[in-house]
Structure formats: C-alpha cells, structure tokens
Amino acid sequence: MTAIATSDTALQLTRDGQLKHFLTLDGLQRPLLTDILDTADSFIEVGERTIKKVPLLRGRTVVNLFFESSTRTRSTFELAAKRLSADVLNLDINTSATSKGESLSDTLLNLEAMASDMFVVRHSQSGAPHFIAQSVTPGVAIVNAGDGRHAHPTQAMLDMLTIRQHKGSFEGLKVAIVGDVLHSRVARSQIAALNTLGVAEVRVIAPGTLLPRDVESLGCKVQYDMRAGLKDLDVVIMLRLQRERMQGALLPSEREFYRLYGLNTEKLALARPDCIVMHPGPINRGVEIESAVADGPQSVILNQVTNGIAVRMAVMSMAMSGQVAERTRGQAEGEQA
C-alpha cells in the first residue's frame, strides 16, 4: 500500500483548491472545512422534506466499497448518494470475487469499466484510498470512509457540524477525546479538524497504553486522569475500545477501564453544565459509556448520525464538481495546445 505523506494532500485538491477526492483532513485549510460545513448545513433541510431528493448527482454512479463492516457510515453514504439522485451500487465484499482472490486493483478496474463516477472506500489498510486515488482513471472521485488507523474524515466533519450546531462556533471551546486514541482513525481526523477550525484546546484522556507515541505532536494536551481532564469541558467525545485492532494486553480489564475512563453521570457533572457528549459509534454500553449518559439530555450521539447524511452529501457533491472542473480545464488546455 502507498505510504501516506503530507504531500499526498495535494492529491485531493484541484489546482484552484477545490476538493476532487476526500482522503484526509491533514493539510486542508479552515476555509475549505468551513465550506464543507456550510454546504452540509444547506443539505439538512433536504432530509426534512417529504421528497428527500436534489438532482446534483443525477446520472452519476456511486460505488460503495466497504472492505470492513459498517452500519452508520455505509448507510449514510448510501442515503446521501440517493438524496443527491445518484445511482448507487453497494458491492457486497463477502460475496464478491474478492473472496476468490481478486486483487483490489482488478476489482477497481472492473468497476471503472462500468462507468463509475465515485468510489466510497472503507479498508483495513491505512492508505488504501490514497492508493486508489493515485491509480484511478481521471474524473473518478475517491472518498475515504475510514482506512486502518489513519483517517475517517467524513466522521470528523459530521462531528464538527454537530459541535457547531450546539455551540455556535469553535472559538474558545475545550474539547476532550477519551479512550482508545491509539487505534482510532476517528480521533486522528477529529484532532486535525478541531485544530484547523480553531478550538481553544484539544485534550486526549486515556491510559498511556492507548495513546500513540506522537499524540502531542498532533496538537493536543494529554491527561491521564479522567476526573481532572473533564474540568471546564464544552465537548466530550468518547471512543470505542477497538478490541479487533489490539495486539497484546493493553488493558487490565474492561471493568477496570470503565472504572477509570468510562463516562457516567457522576463524572460528567465535572464538566461544564452545558457540555455535550459525543460518540462516533458503535457504542459499548458499560465499557466506555453508561446508558444514562448515552441516552441522556447532554448526549448528541444520534444528531451525529443524522448529520452524517448532510456532510456526506456535501463531500460527494463538492468532489464531483471538483472532478468536473478539472476535466473541463484539462480539455480547454488540450484544445489550446
């Protein structure tokens, strides 16, 4: 798989800074992230209509390629594409020729031969969407739906939309991300988005065994004590313990983790009274969060899910329009030459 370098961010923008793929938030500037949030805001109303459709991707073919399981991301990408009037193909990886040993490259070549316009990709390998974006036919957009431990940029953007809806702006906010940061592509993308959008402080609260070695260099403060870390918070984002990615004994036990780092009503009272509680899902109730908190008045967890549709509509429509702009410019330059 291709190594991910900062220069790869150039891969996702046209020469005039429009989105053409959406692979990572690293290197994207605040005006573009704000543009995504504003565009998503404009799509929220579509979800409240009786006929939930706009024609922006009419005639386009979007292929969902999920090589890892998903409930929220896959469903909301599908709904988003359908609300944009695209034709949507959900390739079932378990019954596809991948199980007969077909390579990712060959699968993509065959799907490209079906005149696909966009691939939405979730893959266990960090860098898979970058690899595809580098090799795909010009004009086809790639959207990262989560790659390995690397990035989950649409999740982070739907989280940012939810924060902006509840807090009005990012200015002055103190935000904590709690739990299994080490294995979390969501946390990496959230830290990038929160810093780019200008919050006052990003804190990570976790045991040392669940923090990446470079975490402070990503732009956050580390707090090992959850009670101290919850002080003055405006937003607390809980993460799922990613057992499937853990190698070796990183935790004494789930019970001990919950005692030290689980969010319950008593601990939440240490944050600001208007602190909102977020979680990307799926939730492990009683492992990282108490049901009374997950379902309580400060929880915005289901708002996050709803916002996923609008954010994914925004990203897909912006990437498609970037691809069209790039192709039009290329044709014009070809005629002049």
Based on the shown chain and the rule CB under 6 A, indicate whether residue 71 belongs to the binding site for ligand CP: yes
The nearer residue to ligand CP, 154 or 323, going by C-beta atoms, is 154
Q: Mark the segment that binds ligand CP (CB under 6 A) among 1-9, 32-40, 71-79, 101-109.
A: 71-79
Give me the 246-285 binding string for ligand CP, x by CB under 6 A, dash otherwise: ----------------------------------xxx---
Q: How far is the CB of 275 from ligand CP (least distance, A)?
A: 21
The nearer residue to ligand CP, 252 or 282, going by C-beta atoms, is 282
- The helix or strand, by DSSP H or E, that contains position 177, with its residue range, turns out to be strand 174-178
CA dihedral sign of residues 209, 262, 283, 173: negative
Q: How far is the CB of 310 from ligand CP (least distance, A)?
A: 15
Q: How far is the CB of 282 from ligand CP (least distance, A)?
A: 6
Q: How far is the CB of 74 from ligand CP (least distance, A)?
A: 6
Residues facing 64 on adjacent strands: 90, 120
Compute CA distances 331 → 17, 118, 133, 335, 337, whole Å.
18, 20, 20, 6, 10
Applying CB under 6 A, among 72, 166, 245, 327 the residue interacting with ligand CP is 72
Q: How far is the CB of 270 from ligand CP (least distance, A)?
A: 26
CB 155 within 8 A of CB 73: yes
In the bound state, the residue with its beta carbon closest to ligand CP is: 73
**Backbone φ and ψ of 211, nearest 5°:** -120, 140
Total of chain residues touching ligand CP, rule CB under 6 A: 9
Q: Mark the segment that binds ligand CP (CB under 6 A) among 36-44, 70-78, 129-137, 166-174.
A: 70-78
Q: How far is the CB of 109 from ligand CP (least distance, A)?
A: 26
The nearer residue to ligand CP, 70 or 223, going by C-beta atoms, is 70
The nearer residue to ligand CP, 13 or 276, going by C-beta atoms, is 276
At a CB cut-off of 8 Å and minimum separation 6, what does 158 contact?
40, 304, 307, 308, 310, 311, 312
Based on the shown chain and the rule CB under 6 A, indicate whether residue 190 belongs to the binding site for ligand CP: no
Q: Mark the segment that binds ligand CP (CB under 6 A) among 43-51, 69-77, 225-233, 270-278.
A: 69-77
Helical H runs in the chain?
Answer: 30-44, 72-83, 104-112, 128-135, 153-167, 185-197, 226-229, 254-261, 265-268, 291-294, 301-336
CA-atom Rg of the chain in angstroms: 20
The nearer residue to ligand CP, 155 or 196, going by C-beta atoms, is 155
Contacts (CB under 6 A) with ligand CP, residues 101-160: 146, 155
Stated length of the chain: 337
Q: How many CB atoms lie within 10 A of CB 315?
A: 26
Applying CB under 6 A, among 73, 126, 299, 317 the residue interacting with ligand CP is 73
**Backbone φ and ψ of 10, nearest 5°:** -60, -25
Alpha carbon distance 122, 104 (integer Å): 12
Alpha carbon distance 253, 203 (integer Å): 24
Q: What is the DSSP string of 89-116?
A: EEE-GGGSGGGGT--HHHHHHHHHTTT-
Which residues of the chain form contacts with ligand CP (CB under 6 A)? 70-73, 146, 155, 280-282
